[in-house]
């Protein structure tokens, strides 16, 4: 996930500056400490991470299961024993009936949904369900239902801490300033950014946002 996030930032320097501005604001409000409360206040960073996960799905499908005995779903669908089932994940993430302009990377997409200022085709009454950490029917990155990842809160905080530390210390870009995104490659059902792709790092003055983390 952090690799995918860095590749997205490498072609979007304006988003990196917006994230740095948020980090400075959050640190100023929390005596320079990246506390759990401070991490929760990083709403743009949270939105950026969820949008990164949306356009970089780790698998085209989730919930691969083997059916040991016949069952009937609530809608009457009959599933016989001895078959494998799975839930589509990637198609939902690029469904224009769920996410307006799904081909466009919008770092503020989920921030606007949480604030009630974005075009909302999903319509959750609790807008906090648009957080990165939240598991919903159209966001299966952490699983869903009783088997949802119990470590997703820790993972989200770790990602925010890593991202804050990296972009405070480095400017990053694709080689020679290219704006072409690293391609996604598949290995079975697993999808990831091309492991042979490169990112250029240049050290920078922290500019007052070096977090105590």
Q: Has residue 109 got a pLDDT over 50?
A: yes
Secondary structure E strands in 44-195 = 61-66, 71-72, 78-79, 84-88, 170-173, 184-187, 190-193
Architecture of domain 2-59+89-203: Orthogonal Bundle (1.10)
How many other C-beta atoms are found inside a 10 Å radius of the C-beta of residue 207? 10
Q: CA-CA distance, 194 to 3, in Å (whole number)?
A: 10
> Per residue in 162-200, pLDDT tens?
999 999 999 999 999 999 988 888 887 788 888 899 999
How many other C-beta atoms are found inside a 10 Å radius of the C-beta of residue 46? 23
Q: At what angle do helices 13-29 and 43-55 cross, to 10 degrees?
A: 140
pTM over 0.75: yes
Calculate mean pLDDT across residues 141-164.
92
> Per residue in 4-54, pLDDT tens?
999 999 999 999 999 999 999 999 999 999 999 999 999 999 999 999 999
Instruction: Tell which wins on pLDDT, 212 or 75.
Output: 75
pLDDT > 70 in the chain, percent: 96
Q: CA-CA distance, 47 to 130, in Å (whole number)?
A: 8
Calculate mean pLDDT across residues 100-119.
95
Q: CA-CA distance, 93 to 168, in Å (whole number)?
A: 30
Q: Is there a contact between 159 and 49 (Cβ–Cβ < 8 Å)?
A: yes
> Per residue in 56-96, pLDDT tens?
988 888 888 899 999 999 999 999 999 999 888 888 999 99
How many other C-beta atoms are found inside a 10 Å radius of the C-beta of residue 149? 14
């Amino acid at each position: 996930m952090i690799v995918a996030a860095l590749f997205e930032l490498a072609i979007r320097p304006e988003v990196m500056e917006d994230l740095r501005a948020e980090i400075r604001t959050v640190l100023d409000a929390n005596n320079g400490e990246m506390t759990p409360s401070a991490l929760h206040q990083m709403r743009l960073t949270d939105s950026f991470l969820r949008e990164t996960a949306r356009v970089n799905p780790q698998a085209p499908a989730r919930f691969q299961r083997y059916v040991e005995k016949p069952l009937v779903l609530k809608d009457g669908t009959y599933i016989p024993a001895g078959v494998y089932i799975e839930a589509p994940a990637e198609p939902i993430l690029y469904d224009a009936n769920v996410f307006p302009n799904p081909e466009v990377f919008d770092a503020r997409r989920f921030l606007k949904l949480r604030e009630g200022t974005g075009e909302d085709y999903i319509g959750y009454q609790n807008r906090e369900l648009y957080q990165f950490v939240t598991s919903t029917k159209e966001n299966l990155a952490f699983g869903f239902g009783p088997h949802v990842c119990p470590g997703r809160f820790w993972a989200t905080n770790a990602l925010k801490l890593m991202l804050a530390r990296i972009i405070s210390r480095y400017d990053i870009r694709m080689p020679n300033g290219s704006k072409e995104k690293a391609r996604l490659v598949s290995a079975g059902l697993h999808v990831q950014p091309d492991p042979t792709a490169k990112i250029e790092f240049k050290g920078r003055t922290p500019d007052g946002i070096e977090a105590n983390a």
